[in-house]
Amino acid sequence: MNFRAAFAAPSLAALVAGGVLTATPVLAADISMVLGSVGQDAAFMAKEVKLFEEATGHKVTIVPMPASTTDQFGQYRLWLAQGKNDIDVYQTDVIWAPQLADQFLDLSEAAKDVVGAHFPAIIESQTVGGKLVALPIFTDAPGLYYRTDLLEKYGEQPPKTWDELAATAKKIVEGERAAGHKDMWGFVWQGASYEGLTCNALEWVKSSGGGQIVEADGTISINNPEAAGALDRARGWIVDGITPPGVLSYQEEEARGVWQLGNSVFMRNWPYAYGLGSSDDSAVKGKFAAIPLPSVEGQASAATLGGWNLAVSRHSRVQEPATELVLFLTSPEAQKRRAIENSQFPTVMALYDDAELAEKQPVTIMWKDILTNAVPRPSAPTKLKYNEVSSRFWNAAHSVLSGQKTGAAALEELETTLARLQGRGW
């Protein structure tokens, strides 16, 4: 199929007709955009940018950054504070808006005709004091990936509870290792000291009835027995040999590496891993499915709300063309291409009723439920302090995973630290 003819031409025409893009700019601008890349993010973005360049005559340079959102945040915060003016567009994590709001343009006016098409909660998450800080390119929430072939071989059902997951993982790992598959593991996830661990640990805690670290009204709720038990349970997966000890330094791509080589029964990961796992060079192609993450008996499953956006720097010298680029890359057509090619899901609501998307990426429909019930991290209540709150939380979780502290001891200390942070205002 001709990619451009199928997707690009009508969208560009529509954007030009709608006044979003100028067909021939008076002056072609050089725009630079910075983004971290996980999986094939950067490769996909390069293709999209080419379509924009062809339609507008502007030139876009992509500046690649490390995969870790924590590393990106540290670098961007520094650059923006210094007033760096040679980066125009930033790809931003859903949690950053309150902390970086002052550094970005208000997109409300430029996006007034398109914001209504997106999930209101996502637009709200990017709106700080009435200012629309960024526009979304995709939304994110993880699932539990499992090997359909192995569960069938061992006569097991996909797990609904964490205990079922552990029991099934143990049985299959023991069976597979005894049969000579020495590299086999039961469950891989993200246990490194970074934002990704905050996401994983929030899911264990919330799905155990232990709350959301800091609640929407600002109450610090993390020091409770359910939360402590949830962290101890995750430590138990490592002690029991279900999860590799190396998980203490795994981010998304390390977990996917083990999984996609066929060396794990289960994996917690974001939707991007679905498309990559189904590619021709994947050892698990056609042998896996994804479902909501487990919970403890009587509690609901919890998936952390993730997702990425684009923002225009207030220090940019090409603010108008940079805003055009953001509108192009966040448009329904771009989101649909991303969903089909990258299995990263739209924030444009109507795309969930799009027949072509449903046919080419059927997992979109299953994921819609996970996405709409996703649990936010406490970035709204903790405002400018979110990064500090999160780093204290992931360090506490890491100290339990590595066996230095019990869940109860780590969370008692964490509560004191968070109260001190809150006392100084957040």
Interface residues toward ligand GLC, by CB under 6 A: 69, 93-94, 140, 195-196, 199, 252, 270, 306-308
The least CB distance from residue 307 to ligand GLC, in Å, is 5
Judge whether 338 and 30 are in contact, CB under 8 Å: no
Q: Tell me how crowded residue 285 is: count the other CB atoms within 10 A of its CB.
A: 14
Indicate the residue among 91 and 316 with the shorter CB distance to ligand GLC.
91
250/67 Cα distance (integer angstroms): 12
43/37 Cα distance (integer angstroms): 9
Indicate the residue among 209 and 246 with the shorter CB distance to ligand GLC.
246
Which distant-in-sequence residues (6+ apart) come within 8 Å of 279 by Cβ? 285
The least CB distance from residue 93 to ligand GLC, in Å, is 5
The least CB distance from residue 377 to ligand GLC, in Å, is 8
The least CB distance from residue 36 to ligand GLC, in Å, is 8
Indicate the residue among 187 and 270 with the shorter CB distance to ligand GLC.
270
290/354 Cα distance (integer angstroms): 21
Evaluated on CA atoms 346, 349, 353, 355, the torsion sign reads negative
Indicate the residue among 8 and 62 with the shorter CB distance to ligand GLC.
62
Indicate the residue among 12 and 45 with the shorter CB distance to ligand GLC.
45
The least CB distance from residue 179 to ligand GLC, in Å, is 34
The least CB distance from residue 329 to ligand GLC, in Å, is 16
Indicate the residue among 93 and 203 with the shorter CB distance to ligand GLC.
93
The least CB distance from residue 297 to ligand GLC, in Å, is 28
202/377 Cα distance (integer angstroms): 8
For residue 203, CA distances in Å to 94, 103, 238, 257 come to 17, 31, 17, 22
The least CB distance from residue 139 to ligand GLC, in Å, is 8
Closest residue to ligand GLC, Cβ-based? Answer: 306
Q: How many CA atoms lie within 13 A of 424 on its CB side?
A: 9
Beta bridge partners of 139: 307, 345
The least CB distance from residue 95 to ligand GLC, in Å, is 6
Indicate the residue among 7 and 119 with the shorter CB distance to ligand GLC.
119
**Could you give phi then psi for residue 160, rounded to 5 degrees?**
-105, -25
Indicate the residue among 48 and 140 with the shorter CB distance to ligand GLC.
140
Q: Which helix (H) or strand (E) holds 16?
A: helix 9-17
Which distant-in-sequence residues (6+ apart) come within 8 Å of 286 by Cβ? 278
b/e for 362-395, b at 16 or more Cβ within 10 A?
ebbeebbebbeebbbbbbbbbbebbbbbbbbbbb
The least CB distance from residue 92 to ligand GLC, in Å, is 10
260/75 Cα distance (integer angstroms): 30
Beta bridge partners of 306: 140
Judge whether 165 and 188 are in contact, CB under 8 Å: no
133/271 Cα distance (integer angstroms): 25
